[in-house]
Amino acid sequence: MDASADDSSGPESSYASMPPEVMALSSPWPSLVGEIEGLSEELELEFRFGHKVGPFAGTYKLGGSIKGGSSAIWAPATEEQYQAYLAWADRQSIDKTDDAEAYEQMAAFLDESGVELIDVGHTEVPSSGGGLPGRGRLYRLVLEVLRALPASHLERDAFTTLQIGGWGPDAAKASAYAEGTVYMYDFAISGAERTFLGLFLHELGHVHSTALDMTDYHLLATDHNDIADAFAFLGVEFLLDAESRKVYQQFLVDEFIAETYLVYTSQGSRLRSFIASGGLPRVRSAWDEVYSIFRRSFDGVEYA
């Protein structure tokens, strides 16, 4: 079946859009090299991976978590690199605003769907209106993403808890999904907004993988084999470069499903164009079936 064609065997189509910040994932990550003094390509890659520059004992250090985990690596840095980091973070990180209304709306929305919210604040004290100071923008983004999903994706046994902040069962990653809980680690919150959004949708994709009907899961596993043989994946640039995110999908069907969930929701038009562009007949057929299964599992909702 052509991904752009109607599927008479499935639910009637309807179209939705993710927030503009999410849809921006469909395009390459714009570089700020040349716009920020002292920012090199190598330094920008460090920052995109979540590394920082900060003052340390009268000098400066560059580094941070290894793959988002509790282990860290640090190297000497300069004041120029520190200023470059501050300028880069000012434009790329999640804005540190207060928005108690966003927290209340997000918490109520999750509660109505039967999802528990855990907001880990470490030493911060929640504001009187709810939530933690400086997380208003984050709350608003999470709420907008959740509202753009079918209600059925929140009202299922595979998604019981959303934890924002702290760590989780796998300290070697920037985020995780385990036993019904989506974990958005401190690493994801303190890095680029683009990375947070990509990771959040990817982890919701793991929820989706767990909740899939087993028949559909096995069909997707077969399709994944055909797509992997041709290395015909779509890559989205966040945290890692697009090519690395293709490799990330190569060997594990669950990672393929999670990343396809991200692509399906954030860049539906790009996905449909990618499928329509052809390739080997077996690969095109596999992608057509993947899209059909996702469309059905989204209750007929497709994305711009």
Q: Coil, strand, or helix at residue 185?
A: coil
Q: What is the pLDDT of residue 100?
A: 86
Strand ranges across the sheet with 181-184: 116-119, 161-164, 181-184, 175-178
Work out the pLDDT band at 66, boundaries 50, 70, 90.
Answer: low
Residue with more model confidence, 249 or 64? 249
- pLDDT digits over 74-108, tens only? 999 999 999 999 999 999 999 999 998 999 999 99
- pLDDT digits over 242-259, tens only? 999 999 999 999 999 999
Within the chain, residue ranges assigned H as helices are 20-23, 41-48, 79-92, 100-112, 136-147, 186-190, 193-211, 214-229, 242-249, 253-266, 268-276, 281-297
Residue 138 has pLDDT above 50, yes or no: yes
CA distance 33 to 56: 25
Secondary structure tally for the chain: helices H, strands E: 12, 9
CA distance 270 to 263: 8
Tokens of 104: 């209340």
Cα-Cα-Cα-Cα torsion 130, 134, 138, 140, nearest 10 degrees, comes to 60
Q: Considering all CA atoms of the chain, what is the largest pairwise distance in Å, rounded to the nearest integer?
A: 68
CB 74 within 8 A of CB 66: no
Residue 124 has pLDDT above 70, yes or no: no
Helix axes 253-266, 193-211, angle to 10 degrees: 120
Work out the pLDDT band at 73, boundaries 50, 70, 90.
Answer: confident
Residue 273 has pLDDT above 80, yes or no: yes
| Domains present along the chain, CATH in parentheses | 1-27+99-304 (3.40.390), 41-92 (no CATH)
CB 193 within 8 A of CB 90: no
Q: Kindly report whether the global pTM for this prediction surpasses the value 0.75.
A: yes
Work out the pLDDT band at 10, boundaries 50, 70, 90.
Answer: low
- pLDDT digits over 141-168, tens only? 999 999 999 999 999 999 999 999 988 8
Helix axes 193-211, 136-147, angle to 10 degrees: 40
